[in-house]
Structure 1
Amino acid sequence: MKKALLNFSRIFVGVLFIFSGLIKANDPIGFGYKLQEYFEVFHIPFLNEMATGIAIMLCVFEIVLGALLLFGFWRKQVTTGLLLVIIFFTFLTFVSAAFKVVTSCGCFGDAIPLTPWQSFSKDLVLLALIIYLFKNRERIQPITSNSTLQNALFIFVLVLSITFSLLTYSRLPVVDFLPYKVGANLPELMKIPEGAKPDEYSIIYNLKNKETGETKVMNDKDYLKTEIWKDDNWEIVGQPDSKLVKKGYEPKIKDLMISDASGTDYTKELIENPYYNLIIVAYSLHEANEEGISKLNALALNATEQFNIRTVLLTTNSAQEADAFSKRMKLFTEVFYADAVPLKSMVRANPGVLLLKNGVVINKWHYNAVPSFDKLAEQYFTK
């Protein structure tokens, strides 16, 4: 029984750590964005610039620890490392849940979004299993006692996890779990279906009796039901509060609004274009790879001149900054503006490009992996 429990704990924890690390390593930039939220909460924003690098290191650490636990190698060091990691993550998820500072921990990336309390509960289970493994670490048996083979397997897992993380960082996620993935119909994802229930709110009133000074807190239903509003002695103090009672239907894309420099909404026109159009995304022009911008600008010029393909650039920068950048880089594209959250979700690159047609994401590329114009034309425009 003890052996079965030990093996279950070792396999469960090892597999879960590898899975969690791989899911995040699939999108290290997205994990970096999540770390930035924690950095802001703990008032250490100076780490923001290193967020992606820290994200990659954490992903590799998780994968390696999980693999070594399955192999049974260096049991004292591995179980100690696991214990320190899970204590740290349990603390983070508790802070997120208790103080509602980060709405999703990013434990499994965008593949399996968990609420803060779900994340904390998951970490408590892992904490219990890892404590058990730590206490019984001497009973963990390695799959081999050959030190050369142990080192070789360690190096293999380490190199493989680093390579995978750097590949997804310098290209795009192998599996895209975001709403702007290839094949997504953006207009449909922005709609609320007919008959879908909206968010349900309760209005909270703070009441005070003019004669006795007694105070009450009452929701809108009780306020009407008791007909306390008919009693002139009771008055509403301050502004009523709105409290979410039940979450309604939420479209997968709810925050995309594209405008020009004057604020005119161009979302529908650009997203629902029935023809091929290229959307270059550079959420921050200050941080954008300028060589990548030049490459995409040349692509846009050729696409427009030869096939009349409309190309626009989306950014979060101010109109003045975008205009100065456009002149310096001699951009051919039109420039529009959107919030950083949807732009970061569109493509994990700065810059990146999406090929749209009739609202559907036909394909998208990191600036490091953009096909040549001839290949692009042959595959899409000349058919």
Structure 2
Amino acid sequence: MHTIILQFFRGITGILFVFSGFVKLVDPQGSAYKFEEYFGGDVLNLEGLISFALPFSIVLILTELILGIALLLGYRTKTTLWCLFGITTLFLCLTGYSAIFDKVTDCGCFGDAIKLTAWETFYKNIIFLMLIVWMMIKHDQIKPLFSKNITQPILMASVFSSLYVIYHVLTYLPLIDFRPYAIGKNIRAGMVYQEDGEIPPVHDFYLESETDDLTDVILDAPKAILMVANHLEHVDGEAWKELIKLSNKATDKGYLVYLLSSSSTALVSKTKEENTLPFDVLFCDGTTLKTMIRANPGILGLHQGTVVFKENWKNIKEIKW
């Protein structure tokens, strides 16, 4: 009976870590944003580490995936369990701090796929820490499923395939979009408050020019293209050329075309002048822009507020009108 319970603990813990790593794997930039939040001055006050948020994100993704797979395969069980104990203890302390002092409302442990509060994550970590300790005590009863000659190539293939996926989604867009701006989602519908009073998934979507709020105009438009450049200073000349071509083509087809940014008014004016942009630039909250699309710049196509396509500017020729 104890053996059955032990194998159950092993399976559920391994699956949890594989799932946690996978939902981050398809969107590593989202995990990087969460690291930036934790490193911020009002949380851990480690702002010097913010520039390393993406490497930290990639290391965490690979660690969770490989440890989860290794536990399921029974590879070097004692070492694997000690690593799981260490990472779970670390995040137990981190989420406990966040919960007690109300620092980070969503820990990001399951990316955007499943939202957990800091307290929910804290209790989850306690439970799995107990499971890991139990397995550490009984580790000699966890037998490998295959020989090392089979297990090691599986782990190596997992590492290299994960690195390829990370490269691909950072170059283009996440393979799976769990956010409220995914293709097929209606932005206006995402802004509606539910009866339980829970904050809607879209709650900071305001598109403003220097004089007007154009949110409703754009969401009501039968055809609109929003080009997102959260940080204008990071957009290179080649990207501007492609965006201008896209704007001209879209305008001829009857689309409303705007660029969204959270950059300063001075930088917006400078950018428009230097690149002779034929479209207006609207201000939008920076966090909202990072949620909308993981590209700088990226492109969203809307039909009466429903997202009909999303592309990184590098993949701009793939847009289907």
What is the TM-score with the length of structure 1 in the denominator?
0.79
The corresponding residue for 1:113 is 115
Structure 2 matches for 1:1-383, cutoff 5 A?
Answer: 1-40=1-40, 41-145=43-147, 147-192=148-193, 196=195, 248-262=197-211, 264-274=212-222, 276-304=223-251, 306-371=252-317, 376=319, 379-380=320-321
The corresponding residue for 1:209 is none
Q: Which has the higher contact order (CA 8 A, sep 6+)?
A: 2
Counterpart residue type for residue 144 of structure 2: P
Task: State the Cα distance separating 1:30 from its structure 2 match.
Answer: 1.1
Contact 1:186 1:361 in 2 (8 A): yes
Contact 1:172 1:349 in 2 (8 A): yes
Counterpart residue type for residue 9 of structure 1: F
Task: State the Cα distance separating 1:104 from its structure 2 match.
Answer: 0.8
Q: d(CA) in 1 for partners of 2:276 and 2:6?
A: 64
Q: What runs of 5+ residues in structure 1 fail to find an aligned partner?
A: 198-247
Q: Describe the superposition over 1:33-69 as per-residue Cα deviations: whole angstroms up to 9, x where unpaired.
A: 1111111111111221221221122111100110011
Q: Which has the higher helix share?
A: 2
Q: Describe the superposition over 1:162-191 as per-residue Cα deviations: whole angstroms up to 9, x where unpaired.
A: 222222222222221111111122223223
Q: d(CA) in 2 for partners of 1:293 and 1:8?
A: 54
Task: State the Cα distance separating 1:316 from its structure 2 match.
Answer: 0.4
Contact 1:27 1:173 in 2 (8 A): yes
Task: State the Cα distance separating 1:121 from its structure 2 match.
Answer: 0.6
Partner SS, residue 292 of structure 1 = helix
Q: d(CA) in 2 for partners of 1:285 and 1:355?
A: 20
Partner SS, residue 336 of structure 1 = strand
Cα gap change, 1:329/1:148 in structure 2, threshold over 3 Å: closer, same or farther?
Answer: farther
Q: d(CA) in 2 for partners of 1:292 and 1:3?
A: 58
Counterpart residue type for residue 153 of structure 1: I
Contact 1:104 1:115 in 2 (8 A): yes
Residue correspondences, number: 319
Counterpart residue type for residue 258 of structure 1: L
Q: Percent of aligned pairs with the same residue? A: 32
Q: d(CA) in 1 for partners of 2:236 and 2:100?
A: 39
Q: Which has the higher strand share?
A: 1
The corresponding residue for 1:228 is none
Partner SS, residue 39 of structure 2 = helix
Indicate the larger mover: 134-143 or 118-127.
Answer: 134-143
Task: State the Cα distance separating 1:6 from its structure 2 match.
Answer: 1.6
Task: State the Cα distance separating 1:249 from its structure 2 match.
Answer: 4.2
Q: d(CA) in 2 for partners of 1:331 and 1:125?
A: 55
Partner SS, residue 260 of structure 2 = strand
Q: Describe the superposition over 1:3-46 as per-residue Cα deviations: whole angstroms up to 9, x where unpaired.
A: 11221111111100000000111211111111111111111112
Q: What runs of 5+ residues in structure 2 fail to find an aligned partner?
A: none
Contact 2:225 2:300 in 1 (8 A): yes
Q: d(CA) in 2 for partners of 1:103 and 1:168?
A: 26
Counterpart residue type for residue 253 of structure 1: V
